[in-house]
Structures are given as C-alpha cells and as structure tokens.
C-alpha cells in the first residue's frame, strides 16, 4: 500500500475502526495524526504507533466544533507541511433503539451533529487546504446503514445516507482539482459502537448474524485495509465510490 510519508488525519481514531486505521497507516510509513474527542484514547493509539517505529501524534478534536476542526488541520499543516489524507471516521449511534415516531430529539441532534455536520466540517476545511496544495484524498466512513434501510435507527440512517451523498457530490466537484473523495460502508463490525447495539438484548448478536451471509461480524482492521487502499496511490482512478464491507449483508 503506497502511503509512505503521507500526512494523514483520522478523526475518531481513539478506538475501533479509527484506531485500527491509524495503526495500519502507521505500519505503512505515513505520518499519522490521531484525532479524537477522547484525548486519553488518542494518546494511547499514537504511543503504540510510535513504539512500533511509526510517526504519530495525538490531537483532541470535537468534530462538531468548526473552530476545533480548523485548528486540527492548521496545526497538522504547520507541523508536517501538508494534509494528504483526511479520514472522516468519528461517529456515534443513538442512545435508544426506537421507531421514528418515538425517536428522541436528543438522539437526532447528537447523531446528526457528529456523523453528518462533523463530516461536512472536516471535508470543508480539508478541501480548502487540498485546493491550496493542488491535491488531496478524503475517505469518509459511512455505513451499510447509509445505503440500505435499517429500522429503529432514523438519525443514524439519515446521517450515513448523507455521508454517502456528500461523498459523491464533493467528488463530482473536485475531480479536476486532483482531490479524490470516497467512502467505506462497513456492516456490523466489532467495536464499542457495536457493543452498544449488542447490549440491547442477550440474543442480539445471534439475531444480527442471521443476516450476514458470511456468518460473522467484521473486524476493525478489515475496514482499515479498505480505507488505507482508497487513500493510497493504488486506487488512483477511483473517486465518488463507496466500498461496502459487510460479509454480504447487503445481498
Ligand atoms: N462498528 C460498526 O458496526 C460500524 C458499522 C458501520 C459504520 N461504522 C462507523 O464507523 C465509524 C467508527 O465507529 P466504531 O465502530 O469504530 O466506533 P467507536 O465507538 O469504537 O469509535 C468512534 C470514535 O469516535 C469518537 N468520537 C465520538 N464523538 C466524537 C466527536 N464529536 N468528535 C471526535 N471524535 C468523536 C469516539 O471517542 C470514538 O473513539 C463511525 O463513523 C461509525 O458510524 C461502524
């Protein structure tokens, strides 16, 4: 995977898919900015990358705050001279599982703020920098819930369909500016987010696996491989694309 020396920011990189992605970029020789609202977790991930001979630093960023996203990108460019890859991974689920009429306002506002507005802010700020450089690469982490219906999950579904739409629309706008923008759509993948879903009932895991032709949940490092590939020169004619990694669930 050709990402050596690339300057990469990953949001929500303190755990799960983001942490696995940060570590994978680290092993491939990228300069990794491990960003998360949880600075303790981000610091641990950056330390692990550095211990294994990579180059990483941790930055506290809440993606719902435009000024913090601006500082994240500006500080990265000051430190490393450019921003080659922006991985917009930070995301949350709603706290309650409920049909639309009972979907809480709090869940709606919180999920849209992180998953949708956060990705908008990160794309907006990153693209401004990439236009100055004359090149760049963005990978958004959407979801299977962004291409297929999912019940009891309206804000999450809305936010992830939005991420897919923003990915395609922005890719259309910046293709001639040498900026590629793609998304991955993971299915159920082991992480804190999945644990939250599984905690709803003891048989939830078995119920979900019935819908997965491969019969198992995904692993964070399996999603990381696709993110890293989209960010690399190995995929250089691909833009506006979504890659679904779901063990066949969407079939
Ligand atoms: N795990 C799955 O089954 C699955 C499936 C499809 C899509 N996804 C998506 O993958 C992405 C990563 O999720 P994960 O499964 O690794 O979950 P996770 O909970 O392990 O990681 C999410 C990270 O985002 C961070 N975060 C939350 N709010 C933030 C904010 N406002 N600003 C910055 N960081 C913030 C958290 O601190 C956490 O480290 C999310 O966008 C999620 O929607 C996950």
Q: To which residue do tokens 């981000």 refer?
A: 42
Q: For residue 200, name the pLDDT band (cuts at 50, 70, 90).
A: confident
d(CA 159, CA 223): 19
Ligand 1 atom with minimal separation from the 13 CA: 39
Tally helices (H) and strands (E) across the chain.
Answer: 9, 7
Best residue among 91, 195, 224 to mutate for probing ligand 1, ranked by most atoms within 8 Å of CB: 91
Query: Backbone phi, then psi, for 54, in 5-degree steps?
Result: -90, -175
User: For 42-63, what is the mean pLDDT?
Assistant: 98
Continuous H helices in the chain = 16-27, 39-51, 66-80, 105-111, 118-133, 154-174, 192-198, 204-209, 220-231
Q: What is the dihedral of CA 150, 15, 87, 79, to 10 degrees?
A: 160
d(CA 250, CA 185): 10
**Quick one: DSSP state of residue 90?**
-
Best residue among 10, 11, 13, 17 to mutate for probing ligand 1, ranked by most atoms within 8 Å of CB: 17
**Quick one: DSSP state of residue 187?**
-
Catalytic site residue 156? Answer: yes
User: For 19-29, what is the mean pLDDT?
Assistant: 98
Q: For residue 47, name the pLDDT band (cuts at 50, 70, 90).
A: very high
**pLDDT tens figures, 65-116:** 999 999 999 999 999 999 999 999 999 999 998 999 999 999 999 999 999 9
Q: Does 247 sit in the ligand 1 pocket, CB within 6 Å?
A: no
Burial class (CB in 10 A: 0-12, 13-18, 19+), 84: buried
Distance 176 CA to ligand 1 centre (A): 31
Q: Does 18 sit in the ligand 1 pocket, CB within 6 Å?
A: yes
Q: For residue 196, name the pLDDT band (cuts at 50, 70, 90).
A: confident
Q: Does 12 sit in the ligand 1 pocket, CB within 6 Å?
A: yes
Per-residue model confidence (pLDDT) at position 201: 85
What CATH homologous superfamily does 7-245 map to? NAD(P)-binding Rossmann-like Domain (3.40.50.720)
**pLDDT tens figures, 139-168:** 999 999 999 999 999 999 999 999 999 999
């Amino acid at each position: 995977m050709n990402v050596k020396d690339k300057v990469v920011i990953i949001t929500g990189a303190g755990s799960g898919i983001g942490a696995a992605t940060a570590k994978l970029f680290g092993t491939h020789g990228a300069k990794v900015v491990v960003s998360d609202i949880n600075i303790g977790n981000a610091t641990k991930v950056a330390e692990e990358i550095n211990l294994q001979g990579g180059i990483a630093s941790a930055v506290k960023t809440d993606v719902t705050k435009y000024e913090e996203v601006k500082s994240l990108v500006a500080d990265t460019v000051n430190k490393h001279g450019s921003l080659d890859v922006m991985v917009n991974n930070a995301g949350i689920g709603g706290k309650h599982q409920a049909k639309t009429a009972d979907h809480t306002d709090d869940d709606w506002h919180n999920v849209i703020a992180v998953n949708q507005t956060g990705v908008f802010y990160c794309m907006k700020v990153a693209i401004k920098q990439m236009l100055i450089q004359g090149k760049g690469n963005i990978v958004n982490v959407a979801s299977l819930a962004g291409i297929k219906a999912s019940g009891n999950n309206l804000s999450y579904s809305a936010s992830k369909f939005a991420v897919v739409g923003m990915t395609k629309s922005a890719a259309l706008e910046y293709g001639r500016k040498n900026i590629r923008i793609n998304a991955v759509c993971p299915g159920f993948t082991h992480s804190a987010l999945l644990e939250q879903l599984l905690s709803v009932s003891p048989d939830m895991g078995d119920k979900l696996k019935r819908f997965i032709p491969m019969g198992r949940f995904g692993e964070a490092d399996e999603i990381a491989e696709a993110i890293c590939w989209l960010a690399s020169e190995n995929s250089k004619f691909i833009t506006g694309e979504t890659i679904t990694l779901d063990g066949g669930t969407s079939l």
